[in-house]
Amino acid sequence: MRIRKAIFPVAGLGTRFLPATKASPKEMLAVVDKPIIQYAVEEAVEAGITELIFVTSITKRAIEDHFDTNYELEDKLKKAGQERFLEVVRNIIPKHVSCAYIRQPEALGLGHAVLCAKPLIGGEPFAVLLADDLIYSPGVGCLSSMVKIVEDIQNSIVAIERVSINDVKKYGIIASEPMGKQLHRLQGIVEKPAQEDAPSNLAVVGRYVLMPEIFSLLESTLAGANGEIQLTDAIAAMMAKQQVLAYEFEGKRYDCGSKLGYLTATVEYGLRHPELSEEFDAYLKERYR
Binding piece for ligand UTP, criterion CB under 6 A, among 7-15, 84-92, 142-150, 237-245? 7-15
DSSP letter at 174 equals E
Does 55 contact ligand UTP by CB under 6 A?
yes
* Cβ atoms of residues 265 and 197 within 8 Å: no
Do the beta carbons of residue 196 and residue 236 sit within 8 Å? no
Q: How many CB atoms lie within 10 A of CB 20?
A: 15
**Which residue of 63, 113, 205, 235 would you call a contact of ligand UTP, by CB under 6 A?**
113
- Total residues binding ligand UTP (CB under 6 A): 20
172-178 and 133-136 beta bridge pairing? unpaired
CB of 123 to ligand UTP, least distance (A): 23
3-state secondary structure of 287: helix
User: What CA–CA distance (Å, rounded) separates 142 from 179?
Assistant: 18
Nearest to ligand UTP of 29, 47 (CB atom): 29
Q: Among residue numbers 198 through 257, which ones bind ligand UTP (CB under 6 A)?
A: 257
| Candidate ranges 67-75, 86-94, 104-112, 233-241; the one touching ligand UTP (CB under 6 A) | 104-112
Out of 3, 7, 12, 174, name the contact with ligand UTP by CB under 6 A. Answer: 12
Closest distance of CB 157 from ligand UTP, Å: 18
Give residue 86's identity as a one-letter amino acid code. L
CA neighbor of 135 nearest in space, from 280, 21, 31: 31
Among 3, 6, 7, 10, binds ligand UTP (CB under 6 A): 10
Regarding 11 and contact with ligand UTP (CB under 6 A), the answer is: yes
104 binds ligand UTP (CB under 6 A): yes
The amino acid that residue 276 corresponds to is L
Min separation Cβ 225 and ligand UTP, Å: 10
Rule CB under 6 A: say whether 14 interacts with ligand UTP: yes
- Give yes or no for a contact between 160 and 184, defined as CB atoms under 8 angstroms apart: yes
122 contact partners, CB below 8 Å, separation of at least 6: 212
SS3 assignment, position 135: strand
Applying CB under 6 A, the span of 3-11, 89-97, 139-147, 274-282 interacting with ligand UTP comes to 3-11
- Tell me whether residue 254 is exposed, middle or buried, using C-beta atoms within 10 angstroms of its C-beta: 0 to 12, 13 to 18, 19 or more: buried
Measured from the CB of residue 66, what is the shortest distance to ligand UTP in angstroms?
A: 15
Of residues 28 and 150, the one with the C-beta less far from ligand UTP = 28
Beta bridge partners of 97: none
**Which residues within the stretch 130-169 sit at the binding site for ligand UTP (CB under 6 A)?**
130, 132
Interacting residues toward ligand UTP by CB under 6 A: 9-16, 26, 55, 104, 107-110, 112-113, 130, 132, 257
